[in-house]
Amino acid sequence: MTPEQKLAALGLSLTELPKPIANYVSYKRAGDMLYLSGQGPRRPDGSWPTGKVGADVTVKEAYEHAKLVALGLLAAMQQAAGDLSKIEVVKVLGMVNGTPEFGEHPAVINGCSDLLVAVLGDNGRHARSAVGMGSLPHNMTVEIEAVCRILP
């Protein structure tokens, strides 16, 4: 199955690549490396889930938000490479807008990691950091960036 077929089998489709909200580009290709700017969890209507994980938002809800981010990252990968089967995810940095005492950052970012592996298979397996932040732009719950390799 192709990555696109796997997405369809999961009942998912790629979102439109979000437009940058400041002075940067959505991705930058350098040789066979692809650097994806951080994205938040965009809903189909373009809004972001907001709030602090551990207070306003549960881990389960934030996990789903991280899956939304994965769809946006996959859209950037597809636009950059033309075909998701040419993508290998190398590194993911997941940032969680959590309360000071929140400590389940990896469980939240698993939403993104799990979807990347479900869609890309072994090419979706990656090194990763999952960290807490005091705040994120627009008070969104998660922001995730990625580094990928475009395969020949």
Residue 18 lies in a domain: no
Q: Provide the pLDDT for residue 86.
A: 97
What is the C-alpha separation between 96 and 86, in angstroms, rounded?
29
CA distances from 138 to 8, 40, 135 (A): 30, 9, 9
pTM, 2 dp: 0.96
| 16 pLDDT above the threshold of 90 | no
Question: 82: domain CATH number?
Answer: 3.30.1330.40
Residues of the chain above pLDDT 90, percent: 91
Using DSSP's 3-state secondary structure scheme, residue 73 falls into: helix
In a domain, 17, yes or no: no
Residue 131 belongs to domain spanning? 3-11+25-150
- Does residue 65 sit within a domain? yes
